[in-house]
Amino acid sequence: MAMKTNFIIILITIAFAIVSCIDDDFSSSTYNKLTREEKFNKIWSKVTEERVPYGWYSKITLIKLFFLDLKPTMEYKSDAFPSGRQKLIHSVGTVGMVEFKATDDTTSNPYSGVFKGCSHVILRMSVAKEPDESKKTANGADDNFVPGFGIKFLRDGVPSGNMVAMYSVNGQASWNFFKNEFSNHIAKAEGVAGMLIEKKFSTVTQYTVQVGLKDMATYGQDGHDYSNNLKFPYKIIYRPTPEAKALFTDYWSSNYLPQLESIPVDFVLYDVLALDGPLSNPVKIGELITRTKQTRSKWGDKTLFFRHGYMDDDFAFHPEWLDPQILENPEFRESFKAKYGFEHP
């Protein structure tokens, strides 16, 4: 009788372990069926297990990037990296939850999916490479301090919507994380390292400095499917609020990690603007508001995954965005450069 009881206990233990393993798989059907709040709680429990950085990768390790298949970066639908995958750039950052509070004005914000608003959004702020903090002037930050973020819109019953955004792969002449606007469209890289990384991404997409938004518009935060009434912008701009810009200075004063951890809760970080097409003016469609503190996270650095959407998909849905008469029009290109400070990609 005792042996039978022990056998049953072992079976129950094994079954529980299997369920736990499946439940912890951030790409499983079990996980995807959860609500956005349940998904956030699972992610946050991982994020807060060890509130320390995972660490920078060496230049030798970074060479691995050029031998990786980048298709999973564009296609893997999960909130965690595939087993064995490493985050080789933007490898040290902070993680927190924000809310995307969308404007109620459907004229300025006619978009579908999470662009209608999302209460549970994971924001991971990081820099692309380890900065040399001995260069303390604003000019010393140029091509040295390269800020950006990954943003994950959690949705009920379906995979999350993801986007990455930066100011420039070549960084900025300021140590202030909120000095400049971030966007899913950036200028082409300058310098050997940036050009090599861009060349690597060209193995999976010809639009290497643009991230698509179609998937984010396909499902709302409640999981509603908008496939039959899809509407998404050409480009998103995250514009730091004056209050966010005032948090830090152009000159180096301390490491960026404790700076980001000092950001208050219920603080409006960014105004979110959208361009409806290549010739459109940016229009505000909402705000990003902090709902937790940012925190260093070993799991966030090592495992948290942000899928890069194909811009190819956006252009396939909106071929008029690639009208050569528009893109090659000198007046358009001049006005674009005057407005945004760089050539249209």
Burial (Cβ within 10 Å: 0-12, 13-18, ≥19) of residue 173: middle
For residue 313, give the nearest of 232, 229, 230, 213 by alpha carbon.
Answer: 213
Residue 153 tokens, joined: 């819109």
Please write the tens of the pLDDT for every residue from 143-157: 999 999 999 999 999
Q: Rounded to an integer, what distance in angstroms lies between the CA atom of residue 310 and that of residue 251? A: 36
Please write the tens of the pLDDT for every residue from 188-221: 777 656 666 666 667 767 787 899 999 999 999 9
Residue 206 tokens, joined: 């010809």
Please write the tens of the pLDDT for every residue from 91-123: 999 999 999 999 999 999 999 999 999 999 999
Q: Rounded to an integer, what distance in angstroms lies between the CA atom of residue 65 and that of residue 86? A: 9
Q: Rounded to an integer, what distance in angstroms lies between the CA atom of residue 197 and that of residue 320? A: 29
For residue 251, give the nearest of 142, 90, 130, 166 by alpha carbon.
Answer: 142
Q: Rounded to an integer, what distance in angstroms lies between the CA atom of residue 345 and that of residue 342? A: 9
- Give me the pLDDT at residue 196, please: 61
Q: Rounded to an integer, what distance in angstroms lies between the CA atom of residue 218 and that of residue 149? A: 22
